[in-house]
């Protein structure tokens, strides 16, 4: 049984494809990252999963069933546009949102107290939502998402706007949920967060799937011919070496991808003596590099195609 199965869904707004023929599936008990630059179609995909937008074609199965009212009670959803009733008291707000998720009064009260305690918001229970700081409202919003103990948790850009402390808190809770066997899907355009916690990813660009699968496998597939070079000096000459496939130069730090036929061992001697090397590390590419290659690279290639025609 898959926690989520998406098969060939498309959504057009006018003549513009927001999502095109997208497919992926998520195993239960895993954390899944939905990646892509801004405007790639992540939020539209998530809204279609939540049955807020209806896809033009394709099918979506949530916990092996079509998404309906009953299923909504088994899913937790954190929308990209955060929002709560500003005039309601924190306790009442949570009670209302728990009730419409199908929770009974006594169960709801227990959960509310547990989560307020967990997020250090107990003192604010009888305060109005609008009196809370931005950070507190973010935490409250997350409580709303998980209060009914959903089997599938869908988070749209969960880390945006969080300070480092709350980012860590949220990350810890996500891992905790995973241990309890819950499935988490979240969208982001920040790669470092994905590398830390995701089991599987799907990279979307311009409405279409670019890359999908197990994160460590993807990284392996992208090979051992990536070099991280920490250096001082003038290193522009490296770019002219025939071994080089691609370079991300950050000035004192360089991520170098070699062509497949070359080994990192061949490159090092060519650098010795020309620049001062602080570190020379052979490693898997960062997700960021893969992301830029897949998303940025494709754009470049498209342009080249156009020119050559």
Partner 1 sequence: MRKILSVIKREYIQIVRTKGFIIGTILGPVFMLALIVVPIIVSSASVEKQETIGVVDLTHEIFMELDKKLDHRDYRLKDGFRRYVLEKFEASAGTEELRHELRERVLKKELSAYIYIPEDVLEIGARESAVRDSEPEEVKAEYVSEHTTDFEKLRALNGALNNVVIEKRLKREGLDPQKVAQYIKRVELQPIKITKKGEEKDTAGTFMISYFLALIIYMAILIYGQVIMRGVIEEKSSRVVEVVLSSLRPFQLMMGKILGIGAVGLTQFSIWTLFGIGASAYSTSFIPAGADFAMPSIPAHVFVYFVVFFILGYFLFGTLFAAIGSMVNSEKEAQQLVMPVTMFLIIPIMLMIFIIRAPDSSLAVFLSFIPFFAPILMFLRITVLLPPFGQIGASIVILILTILLMVWLTAKIYRVGILMYGKRPKFAEIVRWIKYR
123 is an interface residue for partner 1 by CB under 8 A: no
Min dist CB 205 to partner 1, Å, is 24
74 is an interface residue for partner 1 by CB under 8 A: no
Closest CB to partner 1 among residues 47, 182? 47
Whether the Cβ atoms of residue 87 and residue 128 lie closer than 8 Å to each other: yes
Q: Which stretch binds partner 1 (CB under 8 A): 45-53, 117-125, 242-250, 299-307?
A: 45-53
Q: Which stretch binds partner 1 (CB under 8 A): 66-74, 117-125, 165-173, 207-215?
A: 66-74
The end-to-end CA distance of the chain, in Å, is 47
128 is an interface residue for partner 1 by CB under 8 A: no
Min dist CB 274 to partner 1, Å, is 55
Contacts of 150 (CB under 8 A, 6+ apart): 73, 74, 75, 76, 182
Min dist CB 83 to partner 1, Å, is 3
29 is an interface residue for partner 1 by CB under 8 A: no
Whether the Cβ atoms of residue 260 and residue 244 lie closer than 8 Å to each other: no
273 is an interface residue for partner 1 by CB under 8 A: no
Closest CB to partner 1 among residues 144, 198? 144
Rg for the chain, CA atoms, rounded: 23
Q: How far is CA 300 from the centre of its chain?
A: 24
Residues 179-218 that bind partner 1 (CB under 8 A): none
Q: Which stretch binds partner 1 (CB under 8 A): 82-90, 178-186, 264-272, 282-290?
A: 82-90
Q: How far is CA 281 from CA 101, 223, 276, in A?
A: 50, 14, 14
19 is an interface residue for partner 1 by CB under 8 A: no
Closest CB to partner 1 among residues 78, 258? 78
Return d(Cα 115, Cα 149) in angstroms, integer: 11
Closest CB to partner 1 among residues 69, 305? 69
Closest CB to partner 1 among residues 107, 195? 107
Return d(Cα 31, Cα 182) in angstroms, integer: 9
153 is an interface residue for partner 1 by CB under 8 A: no
Return d(Cα 158, Cα 187) in angstroms, integer: 8
61: which 2 tokens?
Answer: 């199965």
Return d(Cα 233, Cα 247) in angstroms, integer: 16
Return d(Cα 185, Cα 92) in angstroms, integer: 28
Partners of 201 in the β-ladder: 33, 213
Among 144, 202, 235, 271, binds partner 1 (CB under 8 A): 144
100 is an interface residue for partner 1 by CB under 8 A: yes
Find where tokens 């997350």 sit. Answer: 142
Among 5, 7, 73, 212, binds partner 1 (CB under 8 A): 73
The region that residue 63 occupies, defined by phi over 0 for left and psi between -120 and 50 for alpha, beta otherwise, is left
Find where tokens 């998530």 sit. Answer: 46
Closest CB to partner 1 among residues 58, 277? 58
Interface positions with partner 1 (CB under 8 A): 47, 50, 52-54, 69, 72-73, 75, 77, 79, 81-88, 92, 96-97, 99-102, 141, 144
């Amino acid at each position: 049984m898959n926690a989520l199965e998406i098969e060939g869904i498309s959504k057009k707004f006018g003549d513009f494809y927001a999502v095109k023929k997208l497919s992926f599936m998520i195993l239960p008990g895993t954390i899944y990252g939905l990646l892509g630059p801004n405007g790639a179609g992540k939020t539209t995909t998530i809204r279609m999963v939540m049955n807020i937008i209806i896809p033009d074609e394709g099918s979506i199965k949530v916990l092996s069933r079509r998404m309906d009212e009953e299923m909504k009670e088994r899913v937790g959803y954190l929308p990209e546009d955060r929002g709560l009733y500003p005039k309601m008291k924190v306790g009442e707000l949570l009670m209302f949102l728990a009730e419409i998720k199908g929770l009974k009064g006594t169960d709801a009260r227990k959960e509310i107290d547990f989560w307020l305690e967990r997020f250090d918001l107990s003192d604010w229970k009888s305060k109005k939502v609008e009196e809370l700081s931005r950070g507190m409202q973010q935490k409250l919003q997350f409580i709303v998402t998980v209060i009914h103990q959903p089997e599938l948790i869908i988070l749209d850009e969960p880390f945006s706007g969080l300070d480092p402390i709350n980012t860590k808190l949220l990350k810890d809770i996500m891992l905790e949920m995973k241990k309890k066997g819950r499935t988490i899907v979240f969208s982001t355009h920040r790669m470092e967060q994905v590398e830390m916690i995701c089991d599987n990813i799907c990279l979307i660009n311009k409405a279409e799937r670019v890359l999908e699968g197990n994160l460590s496998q993807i990284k392996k597939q992208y090979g051992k011919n990536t070099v991280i070079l920490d250096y001082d000096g003038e290193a522009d000459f490296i770019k002219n070496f025939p071994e080089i496939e691609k370079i991300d130069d950050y000035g004192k730090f360089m991520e170098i991808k070699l062509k497949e036929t070359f080994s990192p061992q061949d490159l090092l001697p060519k650098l010795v003596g020309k620049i001062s090397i602080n570190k020379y590390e052979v490693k898997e590419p960062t997700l960021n590099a893969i992301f830029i290659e897949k998303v940025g690279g494709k754009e470049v290639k498209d342009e080249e195609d156009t020119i050559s025609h």
